[in-house]
Structure 1
Amino acid sequence: MRVLLVTYGTRGDVDPLVALALQLRTLGVDVRMCVPPDEEFAGRLAGLGIPAVPVGPPIRTLTSGSAPPSTALLARYRTALVDAQFDALPAAVDGCDALLAVGLAQIGARSVAEAAGIPYVYASYAAVNLPSPHHAPPPRPGWPDPQPADNRTLWDRDAEQVNAQYGAALNEHRAALGLSPVSNVRDHVYTDRPWLAADPALGPWPVTTGLDVLQTGAWERPDDRPLPPDVTAFLDAGDPPVYVGFGSISPSPGLADRAVEAVKAEGYRVLVSRGWADLDPAGCFVVGEVNHQRLFDRVAAVVHHGGAGTMRTAARAGVPQVVAWMPVGDNPYWAGRVTALGLGAALDGRTATTASLGAAFASVLRPGARARATAVGAGIRTGGARVAAVRLRELASAGRRH
């Protein structure tokens, strides 16, 4: 039995899918993955023995620029990605018994699964990505900002925008496969029973009369790698530092420097994660790729962009967070969850000043803040990847019999 796992995005999109792949292998299921062609993804999967099929252009070139890509560039990029999916996925799915896709960018995945006659599953890492009257759609870079309206109207407009971007390209490819046209691209991709790979304690699915969502829990694998000797020496040399990192996105110009200045003004040492933006603020200890599960146990606070994985790892460690979010994907949503759960503070990274960052740090470093974070962290469950792997194996097995 074999399944195809498909995503397109940064490390935060790929790593959870790797956790699912490893759980599937423990159940005797072969796995193949479609990911961006960036070297770091190919190297990581090769080291784990997971066959990788590169699809689309490198994601790092899109996310690590000093300025956001233009609307025209993003439109061309999205159309090219649809074409790349229909070029690569039919061969990648050969011999597979099910296909699971993560992210709205996977416009072609369901059609390829349909043509192959195998089950298809759509998964999201955050509730905000799925239509609900309880929240508005997430920001979609390059598309017009929605005018104020109720959430249902905003989701209707979101579907219209998705159709405008993808409808013609998708239906042209479907016709070539002998498939009927799709009238609502977004809901076609999502299906009427998507999976939610997020922890219920941190990002629960709001009960609605709409989608029948299966919340599996977050997909994460334990990381037992030791910290590098120089990192351990830095940690041992003084009081716990504050971690500052923005992962795979480029923060607003000067944001990292302002965050470092605000942290130092509170009397704390700073440990900066270089990330895809290649941050290297003066006078800071800078690290590359390290084990966050170990590192966050030893820091006083975590400053980040609102990525699901960073937020969850910090929460599990019981460490207060300051989220300087950018209007990208689910980052604003997770920033809101940090404040709603009492895990820390959040502010718009585009307008954050040294003063506002300093006030945020002062609030999360007060007595009692860590106790609250620890209490929330104790309720986080592990094993979401296992839950999803068992369900996907069942679907693949049923599809095989038919």
Structure 2
Amino acid sequence: MRVLLTTWGSRGDVEPLAGLAVELRARGAQVRVCAPPDEEFAALLARVGVPLVPLGPTVRSVVAGTEPPTAKDAFRLAPELVAARFDILTAAAEGCDALLATGLMPAGARDVAEKLGIRYVYACFHVFGIPSRHFPPGSRPGRESPRDETDNRVLWEQDAQRVNALYGEAVARHRASIGLPPVDNVRDHVFTDRPWLAADATLCPSQGMTDLDVVQTGAWILPDDRPLPEGLEAFLDAGEPPVYVGFGSMAAHAPKDIARVATEAVRAHGRRVLLARGWAGLAPVDDAGDCFVVGEVNQQALFPRVAAVVHHGGAGTTTAAARAGAPQVVVPRIADQPYWAGRVAELGIGSAHHDPTPTRDSLYAALTTALTPGTRARARALAATLPADGAARAAELLLDAAGGEGAPASG
């Protein structure tokens, strides 16, 4: 059995595919991953022995400027990624039995699977992006919906129109080039009627949230047994657990002056500070010994040893902190991050700082909630209930689906 996994997005989009790939290989499948050619993604996949087929530009080149990407950037990137998928995936999927796509609107992936006659599955890492009568769509480049429009169904229809504006012409042109008819609704074509949700059911419940037949597999966790760096081990052993502050792949989207603001807020609680450099390049504000900076690190080993995790609210970091039983302060910036912030607050395992520009006082207040014994107790209790077999379940489902006779090119 041969399987192709593809994504274009941040580490939070790539690492789950590595976890799924490991489980697929354990069941005898041959696996390849088409993903952005960022060095850290290549290193991540190399660590588990999974070949990386480069797809599109590096993510860092798109998001790591001094300003967030503009709508003009999005309208330039969308057709570029469609073209890359038709080109790269067609070659990479030759001889495969299934193609699973995720990440930034993978328009083009299902079309390649359709042409090759292989099983196609769309997977997402949160329910927030799936059309629903219960909540409106997130923001997307293109014509904005009227401010007085409140009907969620109408808003989702307008979201589909924005997706068509971004990807429709490129998808139609490339489908025609391989003898396929056009599609009316690119978004729903990509999603299928049966998308997979690679998220924990407690952290991200899907029941009743959408009219689609969602298959919730659980989160795809890549086991990590790497030791922590010696310097970090020494810092952790030298005092009480520090507060971790990191914004992952957020670069221009990271809150302004967040290293200084967070350091002052954490110190006001009498806690030490552990800064994760990330793409935002967080750095110490002084040379005091109560602050330590780390690069890419094993969060599975680190998070159980910190007092709290202050972060942007990506699906991966939220899940990692929850699995570690670490209280969280989520400062959401874009996309699904406000959703995860809300879930952390609702579950009582931390606090949501919805103001995108935290101050020393506002972050101090959010930490006050996160650092209470009650919050830590709830976080630890929840951690004990979170299963770790999401990737294994997804691997079994995918191989079963791909092995079915006459398997259609849809999820």
Deviations 1:67-102 (A, max 9, x none): 111211221011211111112111011110110001
Deviation at 1:43, TM superposition (A): 2.6
Which residue of structure 1 lines up, in the alignment, with residue 75 of structure 2?
75
- For the 8 Å contact 2:255–2:358, the answer to whether it is kept is no
Structure 1, unaligned runs of 5 or more: none
Aligned partner letter, 2:6 = V
Change (3 A) 1:400 1:225: farther
Which residue of structure 1 lines up, in the alignment, with residue 55 of structure 2?
55
Which residue of structure 2 lines up, in the alignment, with residue 185 of structure 1?
186
Deviations 1:111-138 (A, max 9, x none): 0000001010000000111111122223
Secondary structure class of the residue paired with 2:174 = helix
Aligned: 1:309 with 2:284? no
Deviation at 1:349, TM superposition (A): 5.3
- For the 8 Å contact 1:262–1:354, the answer to whether it is kept is yes
Deviations 1:188-245 (A, max 9, x none): 0000000000000110103157100100000002212111111110011011100000
Secondary structure class of the residue paired with 1:99 = strand
TM-score (norm 1): 0.96
Secondary structure class of the residue paired with 1:5 = strand
Aligned: 1:355 with 2:361? yes
Greater mean deviation of Cα atoms: 17-26 or 104-113? 104-113
- For the 8 Å contact 1:134–1:206, the answer to whether it is kept is no
Secondary structure class of the residue paired with 2:188 = helix
Q: Distance in 1 between matches of 2:358 and 2:59?
A: 27
Q: Distance in 1 between matches of 2:18 and 2:301?
A: 19
Which residue of structure 1 lines up, in the alignment, with residue 40 of structure 2?
40
Q: Distance in 1 between matches of 2:11 and 2:226?
A: 18
Deviation at 1:105, TM superposition (A): 2.3
- For the 8 Å contact 1:98–1:399, the answer to whether it is kept is no
Aligned partner letter, 1:214 = V
Structure 2, unaligned runs of 5 or more: none
Deviations 1:230-283 (A, max 9, x none): 111001101110000000112022123211211111111000001112211223
Aligned: 1:288 with 2:295? yes
Aligned partner letter, 2:280 = A
Count of equivalent residues: 401
Deviation at 1:294, TM superposition (A): 1.2
Deviation at 1:331, TM superposition (A): 1.0
Deviations 1:146-203 (A, max 9, x none): 6351322221111111111111111111111111110011000000000000000110
Secondary structure class of the residue paired with 2:351 = strand
Change (3 A) 1:343 1:27: same
Change (3 A) 1:352 1:399: farther
Deviation at 1:21, TM superposition (A): 0.4
* Structural RMSD (CA): 1.7
Aligned partner letter, 2:156 = W
Q: Distance in 1 between matches of 2:317 and 2:200?
A: 13
Which residue of structure 2 lines up, in the alignment, with residue 262 of structure 1?
265
Which residue of structure 2 lines up, in the alignment, with residue 367 of structure 1?
373
Question: Taking every aligned residue pair, what percent have the same amino acid on both sides?
Answer: 57
Q: Distance in 1 between matches of 2:401 and 2:377?
A: 42
Deviation at 1:400, TM superposition (A): 7.2
Aligned partner letter, 2:74 = L
Secondary structure class of the residue paired with 2:244 = strand
- For the 8 Å contact 2:256–2:357, the answer to whether it is kept is no
Alignment of 1:145-156 (within 5 A): 147=147, 148-156=149-157
Q: Distance in 1 between matches of 2:366 and 2:138?
A: 24
- For the 8 Å contact 2:9–2:104, the answer to whether it is kept is no
- For the 8 Å contact 1:252–1:349, the answer to whether it is kept is no
- From 318, 323, 332, the equivalent of 2:330 is 323
Secondary structure class of the residue paired with 1:31 = strand
Which residue of structure 1 lines up, in the alignment, with residue 243 of structure 2?
242
Which residue of structure 2 lines up, in the alignment, with residue 175 of structure 1?
176
Greater mean deviation of Cα atoms: 386-395 or 223-232? 223-232
Alignment of 1:2-401 (within 5 A): 2-140=2-140, 144=144, 147=147, 148-207=149-208, 210-250=211-251, 251-283=254-286, 284-327=291-334, 329-348=335-354, 350-398=356-404
Q: Distance in 2 between matches of 1:72 and 1:401?
A: 39
Secondary structure class of the residue paired with 1:348 = coil
- For the 8 Å contact 1:70–1:142, the answer to whether it is kept is no
Change (3 A) 1:140 1:320: same
Deviations 1:356-381 (A, max 9, x none): 11111112112311111112222211
Q: Distance in 1 between matches of 2:41 and 2:341?
A: 27
Greater mean deviation of Cα atoms: 135-144 or 204-213? 135-144
Change (3 A) 1:141 1:311: farther
Change (3 A) 1:142 1:37: farther
Deviation at 1:36, TM superposition (A): 0.3
Q: Distance in 2 between matches of 1:145 and 1:365?
A: 40
- For the 8 Å contact 2:140–2:162, the answer to whether it is kept is no
- For the 8 Å contact 2:141–2:162, the answer to whether it is kept is no
Change (3 A) 1:347 1:401: closer
Aligned partner letter, 2:131 = P
- For the 8 Å contact 2:194–2:213, the answer to whether it is kept is yes
